[in-house]
Chain A
Amino acid sequence: MSVIAAGPVIPTFGKGSSCVTGDHTFCWDWVRAHWGDTLGPALWQHVELTAIAVVIGFAIAFPLALLAHRYRRLEQPFGIFSALLYTVPSLALFQLLVPFTGLTWTTVEIALVSYTLVILFPNIVQGLESAPDDVIEAARGMGLTRLQVLTRVELPLAVPAIIGGLRIAVVSTVAIATIAAFLLPTGLGYPIFLALKEPTPFKTEIYSAGALAVALAIGCDGLLVVLRRVLVPWASKGLA
């Protein structure tokens, strides 16, 4: 993991344009000059942080949700556990993990995965349970096996709720991942972190990194909306 060179901000302060040295509201020239060494890599790291957290979170939440759907008794304990986890403030969760896993990428991902898990699990369970009773009865009555009811009826009908969960998980992970900079020099949080450490916080860096995080969240959300359209052609065709 390449750590962003500790320096890009402080030295540039002195030798930048008048906009930069005067710390005006927003300096496009700084953004252009530091896309390559600061913003671009930070954005890419942020995408990585988010993608890994969501993928692992989904990979854990999905089988757990299937289990909870199959054995209803498990749903409540799982639900309570994840609700409790969600109440722990993210910064605190990062700090709680440090004694065990250190100031590492693992610590960051464990925390981020926990949050995606907490969001994805109930959404997937709810999606699996969204198939109307009459649809399930018809399916069983026609001779679908339990597995066929799951794969051909319950799962397809759960797709809208699953994508809904993914949207919330992705957007909140993009936001929470900025806090990872408290532990590791990584992600869009790190330029913000450094800019805040200046004697006077460097506005352009804060705004540009912040704007990239927002753009990333909106972009991912948009992709999921498109995915929903593609996967769920039936939902948009209701009688108005």
Chain B
Amino acid sequence: MNAAEITFDHVTKRYAGREAAAVDDLSLEIPAGAFCILVGPSGGGKTTALKMVNRLIPFDSGDIRIDGRSIRDLPVVELRREIGYVIQQVGLFPHMTIGENIGTVPRLLGWPKARINTRCIDLLELVGLEASDMKRYPAELSGGQRQRVGLARALAADPPLLLMDEPFGALDPITRFRLQTEMSRLHREVEKTVIFVTHDIDEAIQLGTHIAILREGGVLAQYDTPDAILAHPADDFVAKFIGEDRALRRLALKKLTDVQLEQADGAQEGPRVSIETTVRNAVSLLLDTKADRLLVENDNGEVVGAFRFSDAGALL
């Protein structure tokens, strides 16, 4: 696993001419391999916090460390070449082919051509594109494909840390959902630390292993796992931000595999669900069918238990 541990140590940033801090005394420990979401309303300083990590924005006080080493100790271009960076508008180089775009950082690092080429083919496959797309230009791709290339380009030199600034914010809902799903898979596959900015709490809950909620003035409101934040919002601001349906959101994080299922006693009649279904969807199905229980089946279609409304409550 090639993942870095990131520490924000009392980091503060004020923009000239503005009274309120953009980021105010932010401290975060992001463990290696975490998928950490920075989320909050606009003015919460989440993008500022992200861009301080690769020093696109300088900070006033405090420190940021990658694997214990201050980011100020490295020459800035070296630091950046070791951090993948993905932005909302993607920022592909329009005059370079997809292959040349992806090979940007490896070329800067002086990799031999053959290695860049192989790496490029592997990455295209990883992000769901074809090796033949290498020769195309960004203008020939759709928005979703471009962001896939953006992701491949960020991963090119196998950086231990990936910074993503609202990467799916400009995509249509269907494409966004597809890329979110693949991002989850990708994170499991590549095992990197990811810091991901969004203003969308649903996206935060779906993707994050850790969520940092920032409020206006760049103050950290809460930092925890999605489940813990939904279960115990730190204050009214967080409770409001995550929504009044937070119990349902928590159930969306759990699958029937997490439930202590009741015995079905050989029953075969009644609505059925797969054991891979989320508890939230199972509850919805109970409400929809007006049944008092669902039969839960495994991949082979065998009934392995029954799910009742009270089982959902027991999870919370």
Q: Interface on A for B, CB 8 Å cutoff?
A: 132, 134-145, 148, 152-153, 156-157, 159, 232-235, 237-239
CA A153 to CA B100, docked complex, whole Å: 12
Q: Is B294 an interface residue (CB 8 A)?
A: no
Q: Mark B59-81, 1 if CB is under 8 A from A, else 0.
A: 00000000000000000111111
Asked whether, in the complex, the Cβ of B87 is within 8 Å of the Cβ of A137, the reply is yes
Asked whether, in the complex, the Cβ of B56 is within 8 Å of the Cβ of A141, the reply is yes
Category for how many chain B residues contact A: 20 to 34
Asked whether, in the complex, the Cβ of B92 is within 8 Å of the Cβ of A135, the reply is yes
| Contacts between the two chains (Cβ within 8 Å), count | 79
Q: Is B108 an interface residue (CB 8 A)?
A: yes
CA A156 to CA B137, docked complex, whole Å: 14
What is the chain B residue whose CB lies nearest that of A155? Answer: B95
Q: Mark B74-113, 1 if CB is under 8 A from A, else 0.
A: 0011111101010111111111100000001100100000
Q: Is B54 an interface residue (CB 8 A)?
A: yes
Q: Is B28 an interface residue (CB 8 A)?
A: no
CA A148 to CA B150, docked complex, whole Å: 19
Given contacts A140-B56, A238-B140, contact A145 B77 (CB under 8 A): yes
For A143, A156, A159, which residue has the most chain B Cβ atoms within 10 angstroms? A143
Q: Is B139 an interface residue (CB 8 A)?
A: yes
What is the chain B residue whose CB lies nearest that of A145? Answer: B77
CA A152 to CA B91, docked complex, whole Å: 14
Asked whether, in the complex, the Cβ of A239 is within 8 Å of the Cβ of B139, the reply is yes
CA A235 to CA B93, docked complex, whole Å: 12
Q: List 28 A-B contacts (CB under 8 A).
A: A134-B87, A134-B88, A134-B91, A135-B94, A137-B56, A137-B87, A137-B91, A138-B91, A141-B54, A141-B83, A141-B85, A141-B87, A142-B105, A142-B153, A142-B154, A143-B77, A143-B80, A143-B105, A144-B104, A152-B93, A156-B95, A157-B94, A234-B94, A234-B96, A234-B137, A234-B139, A235-B94, A239-B140
CA A135 to CA B87, docked complex, whole Å: 10
Asked whether, in the complex, the Cβ of B85 is within 8 Å of the Cβ of A142, the reply is yes
CA A153 to CA B104, docked complex, whole Å: 11
Q: Which residues of A contact B140 (CB under 8 A)?
A: 237-239
The 7 closest A-B pairs by CB, nearest first: A138-B91, A143-B80, A134-B89, A141-B85, A143-B81, A134-B91, A238-B139
Asked whether, in the complex, the Cβ of B95 is within 8 Å of the Cβ of A138, the reply is no
Tell me the chain B residues, 147-176 only, with Cβ under 8 Å from chain A. Answer: 150, 153-154, 163
Q: Which residues of B contact A134 (CB under 8 A)?
A: 87-91
- In addition to A143-B76, A144-B77, 19 A-B residue pairs with Cβ atoms within 8 Å of each other are A132-B89, A134-B88, A135-B92, A135-B93, A136-B91, A138-B87, A138-B91, A138-B92, A138-B93, A140-B56, A141-B80, A141-B87, A143-B78, A144-B104, A144-B108, A159-B95, A234-B137, A237-B139, A239-B139
